[in-house]
Amino acid sequence: MTDYNAPIKDMKFVLEELCDLDNLNSFPAFSEVNEELVGQILNESARFTNEVISPLNQLGDKQASKLTNGSVKTPDGFKEAYSQFIEGGWNGTPFSPEYGGMGLPWTITTALMEMWQSANLAWSLCPLLTVGAIEAVKAHGTPELQSTYLPKLVSGEWTGTMNLTEPQAGTDLGLLKSRAIREGDHYLITGQKIFITYGEHDFTKNIIHLVLARLPDAPAGIKGISLFLVPKYIVNSDGSLGERNDAYAVNLEEKLGIHASPTCVMAYGDNGGAHGYLIGEENDGLRCMFTMMNSARLNVGLHGVAIGERAYQRAVDFAKNRVQSAPVSGRGTSVTIINHPDVRRMLMMMRAQIEAMRSICYYTNTALDLSRHHDDEKIRLKNHARMDLLTPVVKAWCTDLGVDIASLGLQVHGGMGFIEETGAAQHLRDARIAPIYEGTNGIQAIDLLGRKLLKDGGKEVLNLLEEIEEIDQDLLDTEDTDCMAIQKSLATGRTSLQKATNWLLDPTNNDIDTKFAGATPFLHLVGTVVGGWLIARGALAAHRQLSNGGDQKFLEAKVITARFYSDHILPRTEALLPEITNGSSSVLALAEEQF
C-alpha cells in the first residue's frame, strides 16, 4: 500500500507555466520569492507532509477524536504534528511579516495546502479554518483586535473557527437565533452552533471563534446579523490568557468521513454569556463573514484536487502490483491490471481531471494575488472579477470531481477497494463532505448564475471566452497532431459555453426558475471548459519545452494527458448544453405531491 508523495514536479509546472511566477516576483511584496526559494519551500513542505502528517491519516480515521467533560482529545500524533507545523512557520505562509507571516503569494500557499490536504484531510481542516479567521479579522477587525489576535493566529499558536450553522438555520442564516447583548466594551453571546470544525481540540491553548449572532434591536432576517470574536479563554490586557470563556463543546458528531476532525456542537452562554467582541459594524456580520467564507471556498475547492491526487496515487500503485487476468488480446498469462485498457481509462480519467482541477485552483489564486498586489488598478480589478467569477467553480466543480475521482480510485481496486484496510474507501468517505461545505454546490451554482453571470450581464464570462479563443492559433501553429486535436475539442467546448451564456442572458427568456434549473449544469460547463483551456495551455508549454530538450517523459505525459481530456472530457460540454437550454421543463414538471 503506497503512502502519499507530494507531486512537486506537477505543482511546479503549473506554477511556472500557468501562474507566471516571474510576474509575481516583480511586485514589492514578493520581491524575494524566486524560483529557487519556491523549490526549497515545496521540497521542505513535501518532506514534512510525507513523513509527519501522511502516516497519521488512516490511524486518525480509525481512532477519531473523542470528547470527555468538554475537552477533545485528537488521535495519537495529531497534536505533535501540529506543533511541528507551527514550529516550521507553515501556518503563516501567505500572511504579512507585520504579523509574523512569511509573506508568500497565495499561489504558492495553494500548492502547500494541497500537500497538507492530500496527506491528511481531517488534520488539515484546523489550519484551513484559521486562515479564514485571519482573513476576516484582518479585513474587518479593529486595530485593537488585530494587534491582540492576529500575531497568535498567524503563528498558529491559536486557531480559529467559523460558527454559522444552527439546528434550524443552515443555508438560510436569516433564521439564526443566537443572541448578543451589549455589555460595556464587549457583548454577551448566547446560543447553540452546530457542525463547528475543530470547535474544541488539544492542539492549542486558545481557540478563537467567529460567531454570527443577533442583537435584540436588530432588523429581521440576514440584515440583522452581527459577527463576534469569541475566544475560548479571555485575553488579558497584557496578552496573557485569563479566565475560561462561557463557550463549550457539548457534543461531537459521528460522521461518514473525516473522523479525526472534531465536528462540534458548541454552546455559548449556558452560564451567563460568552464574552464576544464585535467585528465590523453591528448588523453587518454576514458581509464580514463572507470574507472568511470566500477564503474557505477556494481552499475547500482544493479538497477535490487533494483527495483526487491521493486516491490516484493509491490506485496507480495498486494497478501496478495487482496481478489479475490475461490481456484482452488473449496472449500470455495473467498480468498486472494496469495493462487492461479499462483500468487505463479509469486512471487517465482520474489523472486528466486532477491536472485540470489543479490548474484552475492555482490559476484562481494567482488572480487573487494580482488583485491585491498589481500596481495597475485596471489589472487589479480585472483579476478580482476573474477570481470572483471562478470562486464558485473552484469550490463546486472541483469538489464534485473529487468525489467522482475517489470513487474511481475505489473501482480500480475492485473488491479490495471496498475493504477499509486498503485505504481507498477512506478517501471516498472523506471527499464526500466537500460538496456540502461552505455553501452546498447547488448554492455555488446559484451564485455563479445569479450573482456573477446575470448581475454583470455576462461581461466577465464573455471576457473569459475571448481569452480562451486566443489560444486557438497557438495550438494550430504547432502542427502537432495532439495539439490540433486539443484545439478542435476546446473550440467545441467554448461554443457550447457561448451558446449557454447567450441563452441565459436572452431577455426574452425571463422565467427565473427555468434558468436556475440549469444552474448546476452551467457551473459544470464552465469548469469543464476553463479546465480544458488551462490544460491546453499546459500542453502548449510542454510542447515548447520538448522542442528545447526538456524532460521528455514528463512533458510527453503532459501533452498526452491534455489530449485525453480533449478526447474524453471536453465532449461532455455538448451534452451539458441541452441540460441548460432544454432540460428545465422536466426538472420542474412534477407537482410536490407527486414526489
What does R_g of the chain's alpha carbons equal in angstroms?
24
**Residue 585 and residue 128: Cα distance in Å, rounded?**
41
What's the sign of the alpha-carbon dihedral 521, 524, 528, 534? positive
Closest listed residue to residue 129, CA positions, set 273, 247, 262, 312: 262
Answer yes or no: 438 catalytic: yes
Burial 532-555 (b: 16+ CB within 10 A, else e): bbbbbbbbbbbbebbeeeeeeeeb
**Residue 539 and residue 497: Cα distance in Å, rounded?**
22
Closest listed residue to residue 452, CA positions, set 490, 507, 504: 504
Beta-ladder partners of 194: none
Closest listed residue to residue 120, CA positions, set 164, 77, 170, 165: 77
What's the sign of the alpha-carbon dihedral 433, 439, 440, 441? negative
Three-class secondary structure of residue 166 per DSSP? strand
Three-class secondary structure of residue 280 per DSSP? coil
Q: Which of 17, 135, 200, 438 is catalytic?
A: 438
Q: Residue 201: CB partners within 8 Å, gap ≥ 6?
A: 65, 72, 74, 126, 159, 207, 262
For the annotated catalytic residues, the residue numbers are: 438
